[in-house]
Structures are given as C-alpha cells and as structure tokens.
Amino acid sequence: MTDKKETAKVEEPVIVAVEKKKIRPATKRAGMIVRAKKKKAVARAVIKKGKGIVKINHINLDVYATGHVKNLIMEPLILAEEVASEYDISINVHGSGYMSQAGAIRSAIAKAIVRAKGKKYKEMFLAYDRNLLVDDVRQVETKKPLGPKARARKQSSKR
C-alpha cells in the first residue's frame, strides 16, 4: 500500500479595491441637533440659520402654547434676543405632561443656542437658571404594595 499525500493548494487572498464613500458636508437642511429631558418628556431641537421661526411638533410657537407655558418656553429666546432672530429652531417633543414638555422644550432651545453661539450664552443661562442647560433627572417614585401611591397608605381607624 502506498500512501499518496495530497497537498492542498492554498489560494492567495485576492485584494479588492474598495471605493471610499465621500462624506457630504452638512447641508442647510441638517443644522445642529440637541436633546433635553424632563421626567418622561424628551425634546429634540434642530437649530439652523434662518429668520427666527420657532416650531414645536411642526406647529408655530404662538399657536402651540399660551399663557404661563408660553412664557416659560420663551425665556431662553428673550435672554438671547439677537440670536433668536437669526436662527430657526424646530423642536420635536413627546412623552409626559404639558408642563414637563415645556421644561424640556425650554432646555432644548437654550442648549441649541449655546451650541450655535458658544460660551457667552452658556454663562448667561447658567447665571439665570441652571435648569436651562442641565437636565432634571428626577423621576416619579414607583408605587408600592398596600397603598394607592408610592408613600400613601390606607388610613387606619381607631374605633
């Protein structure tokens, strides 16, 4: 018996030239994106050069909110008046209630202005109200057994 050893042919790897994808520059449509949160409300703001239009969920700010809520949302725009007139801000917000959404919108607008213009406005916003630039991380405490809410218990009778 003769053993014939077959030698396996090893193929050399083929090098294939891969075209690099061209990275497109940021378009006027894209802008800068920032995010802010308050409770379960999440607001995402896109800021870009424009005429000073502020839209929330594709609705103009004047129509979206009135009274105290509108004043709360307008605070960063009033503080940075000259910037607000040269940039368009589009905000998408969802989750939680209308006051938490207003807080998230307010914070998103302030963060967008700081991202567009820089340190001067950051210092101004921090001096005015820290919550404009720092998200509020507090959440509602979970409900416990034997009660209607997190801490409340059934009232006991003495007699």
- Total count of domains within the chain: 1
120 domain-assigned: yes
Please indicate, yes or no, if residue 150 is contained in any of the structural domains: no
**pLDDT tens digits, 34-91:** 899 999 999 999 999 988 899 999 999 889 888 999 999 999 999 988 888 889 999 9
> Is 146 within a domain?
no
pTM strictly above 0.85: no
What's the CA gap between 30 and 42, in Å, rounded?
Answer: 20
pLDDT of residue 154: 83
Q: Strand, helix or coil at 156?
A: coil
Confidence grade of residue 146 (pLDDT, cut at 50, 70, 90): confident
Residue 73 lies in a domain: yes
Distance (Å, whole) CA 128 – CA 112: 16
Establish if 10 belongs to a structural domain: no
pLDDT of residue 85: 87
Range of lowest pLDDT (7-16, 37-46, 48-57, 139-148): 7-16
pLDDT bucket at 102, cuts 50 / 70 / 90? very high
What integer pLDDT is reported at residue 22 of this predicted model?
Answer: 61
User: Cα 59 to chain center, whole Å?
Assistant: 18
- CATH number for the domain spanning 59: value is 3.30.230.10
DSSP string, 13-44: PPP---PPPPPPPPPTTT-EEEEEEETTEEEE
Pairwise CA distance, residues 128 & 4, whole Å: 88
Q: Which residues constitute the domain of residue 62? A: 32-132
Q: Is residue 5 part of a domain?
A: no
The mean of the pLDDT values for the chain is 85
Residue 23 lies in a domain: no
Residue 58 included in any domain = yes
